[in-house]
């Protein structure tokens, strides 16, 4: 995990986490992040594993990965292009060739796993992933998701 060599122009002021059914995910993944620069918002989507602690472990992984990618100049598009071109991989970020491999590995081994270890065994956590049904959603690319997020706010706050 090296230090940033790129000058990051990203600014994250809001992080929104949404847990949803696996079939509602953009593609066959348990965790996904979308950064919307105009809103300075990082959206994190987590497929429901059936336990809020497990869902939050995935969300923490996604947030750590996204923050490192944004800081290091690894774009959302680079991550998505790699993921969508490796749909047959169980975990594309674990592939050495992934442009965000180091960021993914840091998020898994230094954030997600230690966090979940406070609540349950790694074996129990792994079984939650194994029990997920086969993804049968509709593949949705980043452009569609960004258009949805930038046209209509999905979340209302007291300040909006």
- State pLDDT tens for residues 48-60: 999 999 999 999 9
Total count of domains within the chain: 1
Q: Residue 60 is part of which domain span? A: 14-134
Q: Is the pLDDT of residue 35 over 90?
A: yes
The whole-angstrom separation of Cα 149 and Cα 102 is 28
Specify the pLDDT at position 22.
94
**114 within a domain of the structure (yes/no):** yes
**148 within a domain of the structure (yes/no):** no
- Which of the pair, 152 or 67, is modelled with greater confidence? 67
**152 within a domain of the structure (yes/no):** no
Q: Residue 92 has what DSSP assignment?
A: G
**141 within a domain of the structure (yes/no):** no
**Average pLDDT of 91-113?**
97
Q: Is the pLDDT of residue 100 over 90?
A: yes
Specify the pLDDT at position 1.
45
Query: Is residue 10 very low, low, confident or very high in pLDDT (cuts 50, 70, 90)?
Result: confident
- Which of the pair, 101 or 141, is modelled with greater confidence? 101
Specify the pLDDT at position 158.
52
Whole-prediction pTM value? 0.86
**Average pLDDT of 94-116?**
98
**95 within a domain of the structure (yes/no):** yes
17 torsion bin: left (phi>0), alpha (psi -120 to 50), beta (else): beta
**92 within a domain of the structure (yes/no):** yes
Q: Is the pLDDT of residue 152 over 90?
A: no
**41 within a domain of the structure (yes/no):** yes
Specify the pLDDT at position 53.
98
Count of other CB atoms within 10 angstroms of residue 5: 7
Specify the pLDDT at position 147.
61
Count of other CB atoms within 10 angstroms of residue 114: 11
**151 within a domain of the structure (yes/no):** no
């Amino acid at each position: 995990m090296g230090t940033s060599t790129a000058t990051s122009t990203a600014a994250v002021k809001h992080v929104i986490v949404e847990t949803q059914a696996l079939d509602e995910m953009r593609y066959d993944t348990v965790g996904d992040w979308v950064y919307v620069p105009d809103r300075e918002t990082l959206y994190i989507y987590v497929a429901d594993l059936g336990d809020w602690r497990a869902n939050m472990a995935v969300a923490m992984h996604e947030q750590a990965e996204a923050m490192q990618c944004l800081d290091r100049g690894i774009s959302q598009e680079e991550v998505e292009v790699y993921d969508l071109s490796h749909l047959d991989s169980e975990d594309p970020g674990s592939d050495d060739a992934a442009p965000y491999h180091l960021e993914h590995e840091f998020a898994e081994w230094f954030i997600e796993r230690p966090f979940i270890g406070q609540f349950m065994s790694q074996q129990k956590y792994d079984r939650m992933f194994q029990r997920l049904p086969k993804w049968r959603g509709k593949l949705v690319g980043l452009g569609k998701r960004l258009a949805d997020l930038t046209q209509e706010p999905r979340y209302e706050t007291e300040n909006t």
